[in-house]
Amino acid sequence: MKISLAKKIDRNRPLALFVFEKEAAPEGLPNRKDLLAEAARDGFKARAGSAAVLHPRNGSPSRDLILAGLGPKAKFNAETLRRAAALAAKQAASRSWTDLTYVPPRTVSDAGREIRALAEGALLAGYRFLKYKSKKEGPRLARLEVLPGKVAEGIARQAVKTAQVLVETVSFVRDLVNEPPSRLTPARFAELAREVAREGADSGISVQVLDRKKLEELGMEALLGVNRGSAEPPALVHLRYRPARPSGSLALVGKGITFDSGGLSLKPAESMETMKMDMAGAASVLGVFRALPALKPDLEIHGILALTENMPGGRAQKPGDVLRSLNGKTIEVLNTDAEGRLVLADALAYAVRQDPDAVIDLATLTGACIIALGSLVGGAMTNRDAFYDELEKACAETGERFCRLPLVDDYREGLKSAVADVKNISSFRKEAGTIVGGLFLSEFVDDRPWLHLDIAGTAWTDRELPYCPPGGTGFPVRTLLQAVLNLSAGNLKDL
């Protein structure tokens, strides 16, 4: 779907207008007051999440109009507009309209930010994964325009461009998460990383793929242990983005379990149905690198993808096995379904070896996070308060949500092992599972500034969301990119 700026209103094209509750005064459009009155007679009260479609006749700025509600003006923010724009796009698509012009509300707290939010919502709502459908959908909304009004053209153009980059990245990540696991194997994932590096080579992106032999030479027994039951070989991908004058360095580490059966600690059949999404953390990191040439942050960025399947084959690791990780710590494996923390143990240790100023890891790590926070809020843990503050700033821009959980050191007692340095699950079962996962990972970051994002609930949706259909969500790649831009403008070394 294409989106661009409109120079003026074309009466032959449908319009989307955005309306606050109890709004009565005209706002720059002919007969706006009459249009609102007509919609009100049909029960439209401009509540957030509501819409009305009008087909006015004389004196209207358009033959077809969508009015999207924004709710009370006092509660308005960018996410409200993002959702309203998505709703308008869905209304247009349901009527087989192929064109739509958006007229942003004139709030105006930050016009560029609002135009970006509007463009994001409209574009995100148009995503569909149709690669394996033999019967394609009918006509779809193909072209969107935004009327910038009094906003400076340069600001409006940059806002639309940024939105386009972010949405293309989200769509790329959604495609990866939706891809069948027998097609998106670790080897194929690594090849995609090579393609991203080739496309971004002129912008300073390079890649190294560590195969099984190299992983064995380095002593990455934790990653190799998870892979033992699989016929598919593992890989650790190291992407690197090097601008001319970096202001700091950041490592992004992604869990990439391309299918998780649970290993010998086998999951129930129903729990395996969506386990192709267990690589969403790695997909998000790869998505970031795909966007870097367009966004051009001045940070050096390392992307570490730990790629493998977790299968119950004849050579699979067993409960009771002891693995030695890259940083030398030994791990007693008591549950092979707690495999994400194992591959991340080696990946985080490898990331620390690159000597970054800070580390962020993303993982669909714990079912406990879904129980605690549901499917709409991610979990976050960190060893630096300032790092979480940066995450909150990014979330304020993107509308994605995280909740900080404490790294309660008293829970570390449950990870002590009689035969190794640490166990991969706690002795205190069914208690603080997400926090325990974070405490385990903290053993491998060398007290470097570190932020752990548990996206187990948010990387996938079984229901229609305001601007995402069922399937992979692309969460939290927009927030991750926003954080990279914010840290690029600030001082990463102060974390």
Report, as residue numbers or ranges, the catalytic residues. Answer: 267, 341
Cβ pair 429, 335 in contact under 8 A: no
Instruction: Give the separation between CA 299 and CA 381, rounded to whole angstroms.
Output: 23
Q: Is 224 exposed, middle or buried (0-12, 13-18, 19+ CB in 10 A)?
A: buried
Instruction: Give the separation between CA 78 and CA 399, rounded to whole angstroms.
Output: 7
How far the first Cα of the chain sits from its last, in Å, is 39
307: helix, strand or coil: strand
- Beta bridge partner(s), residue 200: none
Q: What is the number of alpha carbons within 13 Å of residue 181 lying toward its C-beta?
A: 22
Side chain identity at residue 332, one-letter code: E
253: helix, strand or coil: strand
Specify the pairing of strand 450-454 against strand 378-382: antiparallel
Instruction: Give the separation between CA 336 and CA 330, rounded to whole angstroms.
Output: 15
Nearest to 141 by CA among 81, 95, 103: 95
Instruction: Give the separation between CA 400 and CA 467, rounded to whole angstroms.
Output: 12
